[in-house]
């Protein structure tokens, strides 16, 4: 029988506070699967009108799917979170866009009618599982000159992007990074970040048990002078530093998606509506430009221009990558639509989990900005890809 596509809504999203990766980080002694379980349980606690048995799928992304990020983590996390054994789950890997892909894949399933309700998210414990751990790249990548050697080092791809966009200087990238830190500090002071954070139990060898309640990476005192003094580890006299790039981080995210009619039936209030999504490939050695063709494809398919987009949540893997996107679309570096509450340069980027953080933040912004109809979440992806999701504000005043 022919099926009619259903409207898909983002109901709610949560995340653990993000931590710094490494032996002194918040989550040094915390398992990755326990982090995502904490997020799933909180999502269910916040939405008591949703019967657990109504969850049709759990999709969890991880870039390094081994150890406590392995064992088909979507299914294992669902069981550990106490969902009925009848609820299936699967794992996703699209590197940085893992959680984004978990959302678009389950969202497409809801639109098609295969699911009514799904949980999607991601986790990355970069302290336990550094990016590239256990990877064995096929030698033909280099022997057959399929990719430039720099494609396998993310910081080098960012330096390549500076080469491609010579107008994006180190000073310009540092200025963007300072703004990101300032905006996060202001958002924290206004209580805007905290509602999506799930207090998470942590353990330290020195201090014993504690509770993570805030993001660890932000550096609110960052200045242009402090950034100017940092080393450029990926190239002598280069442009990319630890200050104008996201750090190595640990953290987990989860969100609740549903068919709009099912959400209403269950008493779940939608925050935003999934309109469309697109992924695109680019040369791996300049992977940071990936959001550009993905966004172009998406806007063209929906007969929209960037003027129709009122809010943009773009992942700040590197300042140069964000600035290249803005330059392409002729958007000012300090445009108020872009990451109004700051981004990953300050908050952190636990790879596969970040896509849902962008969505959480956009959905909260939509609640404040009922005058805005459309928003984007977009990010670059390792090995030369970009992904963009188009959302409609469920509380847009123009629909009333």
Enzyme catalytic residues: 96, 349, 380
End-to-end CA distance of the chain: 34
**Strand-pair category, 8-15 with 272-281:** antiparallel
Both tokens of residue 278? 């697109």
Both tokens of residue 275? 């309109």
The per-residue DSSP string of 94-155 comes to BTBTHHHHHHHHHHHHHHHTS-SEEEEEEEEETTTS-TTTT----THHHHTTSS-GGGG-HH
Place of tokens 């398992």: 31
Tell me how far apart the alpha carbons of residues 60 and 37 are, in angstroms, rounded to a whole number.
10
Tell me how far apart the alpha carbons of residues 124 and 117 are, in angstroms, rounded to a whole number.
24
Tell me how far apart the alpha carbons of residues 118 and 137 are, in angstroms, rounded to a whole number.
33
Strands annotated E in the chain: 8-15, 19-20, 57-61, 89-92, 117-125, 200-204, 208-212, 249-259, 272-281, 309-314, 374-381, 385-393
Both tokens of residue 228? 């100017």
Contact 159, 234 (CB under 8 A): yes
């Amino acid at each position: 029988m022919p099926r009619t596509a259903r409207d898909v809504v983002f109901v709610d999203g949560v995340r653990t506070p993000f931590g710094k990766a490494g032996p002194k980080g918040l989550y040094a002694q915390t398992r990755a699967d326990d982090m995502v379980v904490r997020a799933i349980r909180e999502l269910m606690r916040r939405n008591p009108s949703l019967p657990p048995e109504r969850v049709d799928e759990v999709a969890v992304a991880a870039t390094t799917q081994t150890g406590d990020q392995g064992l088909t983590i979507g299914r294992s996390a669902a069981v550990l979170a106490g969902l009925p054994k009848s609820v299936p789950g699967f794992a996703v890997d699209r590197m940085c866009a893992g959680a984004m892909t978990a959302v678009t894949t389950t969202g497409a399933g809801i639109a098609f009618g295969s699911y009514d309700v799904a949980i999607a998210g991601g986790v990355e414990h970069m302290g336990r599982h550094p990016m590239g751990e256990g990877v064995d790249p096929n030698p033909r990548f280099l022997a057959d000159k399929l990719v430039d050697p720099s494609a396998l080092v993310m910081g080098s791809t960012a330096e390549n992007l500076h080469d491609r966009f010579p107008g994006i200087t180190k000073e310009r990238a540092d200025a963007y990074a300072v703004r990101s830190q300032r905006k996060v500090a202001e958002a924290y002071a206004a209580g805007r970040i905290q509602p999506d954070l799930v207090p998470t139990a942590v353990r330290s060898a020195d201090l014993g048990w504690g509770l993570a309640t805030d993001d660890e990476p932000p550096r609110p005192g960052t200045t242009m002078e402090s950034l100017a003094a940092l080393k450029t580890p990926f190239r002598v006299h280069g442009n990319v530093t630890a200050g104008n790039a996201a750090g190595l981080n640990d953290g987990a995210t989860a969100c609740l998606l549903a068919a709009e009619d099912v959400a209403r039936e269950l008493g779940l209030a939608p925050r935003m509506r999934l309109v469309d999504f697109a992924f695109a490939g680019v040369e791996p050695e300049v992977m940071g430009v990936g959001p550009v063709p993905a966004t172009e494809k998406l806007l063209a398919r929906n007969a929209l221009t960037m003027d129709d987009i009122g809010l943009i949540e773009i992942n700040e893997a590197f300042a140069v990558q964000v600035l290249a996107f803005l330059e392409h679309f002729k958007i000012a570096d300090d445009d108020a639509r872009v990451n109004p509450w700051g981004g990953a340069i300050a908050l952190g980027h636990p790879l596969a989990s970040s896509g849902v953080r962008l969505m959480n933040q956009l959905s909260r912004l939509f609640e404040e900005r009922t005058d805005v109809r459309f928003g984007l979440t977009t990010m670059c992806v390792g090995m030369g890809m970009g992904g963009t999701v188009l959302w409609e504000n469920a509380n847009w005043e123009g629909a009333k």
